[in-house]
Amino acid sequence: MSNRVALGVDVGATKIAIALINEQYSVSNRIDVASSASDGYELWNRVATATEEILEKTGSTLVGVGIGSAGPIYPKVGTISPVNIPVWRDFPIVDCFRETAHVDRITLHGDAMALAHAEHKVGSGVGSRNMLGIVVSTGIGGGLILDNQLFEGETGNTSYFGHSSIDFQGIQCACGRLGCVEAYASGPNMVNLAKKLGWQSASNSFVDVAADARNGNSVALEAIEIGSRALAVGLVNFVGSLDISHIVVGGGVAQAGEIYWNPLMKHIRAEAAYAGFLSELKVSPAKLQTDAGLIGAALGVL
């Protein structure tokens, strides 16, 4: 058995996960670092410390670092500017990892692109020729498989559909645009919506909105209904424009189970019905759950 490993990095708005991934795609030595920070280099120092700790424990050969990050990303220059991590604007993440991990081989993908790659290779998308993989979490992003290949687009930001507008007179998104899918359908924005509708809770977690919805709370149920419909509209717009018949849904929100999944599927079916050619549209939950982004990031170098 080969003794080669990659360092996988999954940069999300809530946490940055770092771990070793071997050639059998198993994940070890994972450390999660909180993404909130008052300064970009304070956040990087936390990431660097975790990286050094992980690399000290490995007896294997490190072949490279694969980074999957919330967007926008700039692979040509190795920088990232995640919408929901304000302290990282044009942050030189590739150079930072090169210096800390002492390897030359570093790849940078979108986080949802990494999820799509992993799910297509070893998860729910195995066997699909064309597939959209999405992350529904603090932010919303997509990754595209076309003709069995990861499609990167011109700048590496393909399937940026969380910031496609579904209401040009709608509410303002964190990116500045009006009516983005993410402004209605992300976990935190469904929490905001529940509170606007009168949800009485000190919590800011979608986990608690989902729990109240399971207990029959009408406001929590309405927030999920609106958020899942917004996502369904964005998804059907996207797969309809490309004629793609498989979507794999990952991310923390999607792990809420039937209370989220059932309304999402109802709305996807209703929206897809307007385009007869989408009648065979298949929607699957991601199989790899919280490790999908790490495995997909590592696939960039393994």
Is 289's pLDDT higher than 80?
no
The pLDDT of residue 2: 62
Residue with token string 């929100």: 253
Q: Write out the two tokens for 243.
A: 């004629």
Domains in the chain (CATH in brackets) are: 4-113+291-299 (3.30.420.40), 127-286 (3.30.420.40)
pLDDT of residue 179: 98
Confidence of residue 1 (pLDDT cuts 50, 70, 90): very low
The full DSSP string for 131-157 is: EEEEEESSSEEEEEEETTEEE-TTTS-
Q: How far, in Å, CA of 205 to CA of 202, rounded?
A: 9
Instruction: Find where tokens 């940026």 sit.
Output: 160
pLDDT digits (tens, 9 = 90+) for 44-97: 999 999 999 999 988 889 999 999 999 899 999 999 999 989 999 999 999 999
**Model pTM?**
0.90
Q: pLDDT tens, 263-288?
A: 999 999 999 999 999 999 999 999 99
Three-class SS state of 190: helix
Two tokens, residue 33: 């670092």
Distance between CA atoms of residues 283 and 165, nearest Å: 22
Mean pLDDT (whole number) for 219-244: 97
Q: What does residue 292 show for φ and ψ, rounded to 5 degrees?
A: -60, -45
Angle at 91 between CA 87 and CA 95, to 5 degrees: 145
Average pLDDT over residues 149-163: 91
Q: What's the burial of 2, exposed, middle or buried (CB within 10 Å: 0-12/13-18/19+)?
A: exposed
Give the contacts of 265 (CB within 8 A, at least 6 positions apart): 283
How long is the chain? 302
Name the percent of the chain lying above pLDDT 70: 99
| Residue carrying the six token digits 């499609």 | 151
For residue 110, pLDDT beyond 70: yes
Averaged pLDDT score across all residues of the chain: 94
Q: For 195-231, write each residue's pLDDT tens digit.
A: 999 999 999 999 999 999 999 999 999 999 999 999 9
What are the distances in angstroms from CA 93 to CA 66, 106, 214, 246, 262? 11, 10, 40, 32, 38
Phi then psi for 14, rounded to 5 degrees? Answer: -95, -40
**pLDDT value of residue 13:** 87
DSSP 101: H
Residue 62 confidence (pLDDT): 94
Long-range contacts of 25-28 (CB under 8 A, 24+ apart): 25/118, 25/121, 25/122, 25/295, 25/298, 25/302, 27/291, 27/294, 27/295
